[in-house]
Amino acid sequence: MSASKRLAVSCFLLVLLLAEANAKGLKVGFYSKTCPHAEGTVRKVVFAAMKKAPTLGAPLLRMFFHDCFVRGCDGSILLDSSNNQAEKNAVPNLSLRGFGIIDDSKAALEKVCPGIVSCSDILALIARDAMVALEGPTWEVETGRRDGRVSNISEVNLPSPFDGITKLITDFRTKGLNEKDLVVLSGGHTIGMGHCPLMSNRLYNFTGRGDSDPSLDSEYATNLRKKCKPTDTTTALEMDPGSFKTFDVSYFKLVAKRRGLFQSDAALLDNSKTRAHVLQQARGSTFFHDFGVSMVKMGRIGVLTGRAGEIRKVCRVRN
């Protein structure tokens, strides 16, 4: 192994060790003594909001993912910027919704336990409770995160709907997540909507020659062309057709049939490990459990604990 490769491996291991050390500050029930009704308070706000607008489930789940993949799970996605240069102003985050639910949860908590519960923990709890409200999976959320003070649009470099399997695996590995986590968390696409611009290249110009993606099922492609014309920038598409409001395994069944909406969905069949996980999840017996396990792992990425960071009084602004 060359010196440069050894250095790269050493740096990667150091990142994982630091992440593990910080994650040791997390635990289930962190607020059991300092704010015993914290989780119940958040759950009440989330269930009320989801009853009025169940389609918020997908963007709330995606918000937690987008937060954790940039600077770690530190609530930096929630910060506003006077010059529109915060993470939430980056193109991949412009479609996020539900920030008001975080605000409402924080306001409710500040009334009963002021200055105790972090915004980053609130977001982690909301991601879980939103899935429960959709009759999806549940899991024990580790808490004890503290809030970051930095949010920079230039640092937003998220896995993309256009990514191939090699980049997806690399991006997840750098966060301490493996191929199974990649597949299982991609299963979050079982709920929510996508838009025509995110997949028009698969229909009309996949290689720059006016062709379509050969990995896309031809019948599915024909149906998509009826909904998405080449210049369409607004039409919404069900990410899991016929089941986009329900958290279930139908997403994996569609991917296995080459009917994944995004290029990144189709890419899961291009690697033997990820393909095997897709087929396993399609059978349905372990998806809810596995999703919870991977969400807990993701929730440990780059967390601030102990005296690092702060506990924001308002989630949109630093103290």
Tell me whether residue 76 is annotated as binding.
yes
Taking every pair of Cα atoms in the chain, the longest distance, rounded to a whole number of angstroms, is 62
Q: Which one from 66, 195, 277, 289 is the annotated catalytic residue?
A: 66
241 is in an annotated binding site: no
Q: Is 189 annotated as a binding residue?
A: yes
Residue 184 assigned to a binding site: no
- The number of beta carbons lying within 10 Å of the beta carbon of residue 38 is 24
217 is in an annotated binding site: no
Does 195 show up as a binding residue in the annotation? no
Evaluate whether 59 touches 46 at the Cβ level (below 8 Å): no
Task: Give burial (CB, 10 Å; 0-12/13-18/19+) of 122.
Answer: buried
Euclidean distance between CA atoms 86 and 76, whole angstroms: 8
Please confirm, yes or no, whether 195 is among the known catalytic residues. no
- Nearest-angstrom CA–CA distance, 262 and 62: 15
Strand duo 193-195 + 27-28: pairing: unpaired
Angstrom distance (rounded) from CA 278 to CA 255:
8
What SS3 state is found at 163?
coil
Q: Is 132 annotated as a binding residue?
A: no
Q: What is the DSSP letter of 141?
A: P
Is 2 annotated as contributing to ligand binding? no
Q: Are 120 and 74 in contact (CB under 8 A)?
A: yes
87 is in an annotated binding site: yes
| CA distance to 35, 96, 189, 244, 245, per residue, from 194 (Å) | 38, 12, 9, 10, 13
Q: Which residues are annotated as a binding site for heme b?
A: 189
Residues marked as catalytic: 66
Give the residue numbers of the binding site: 67, 70, 72, 74, 76, 87, 159, 189-190, 240, 248
Q: Which residues are annotated as a binding site for substrate?
A: 159
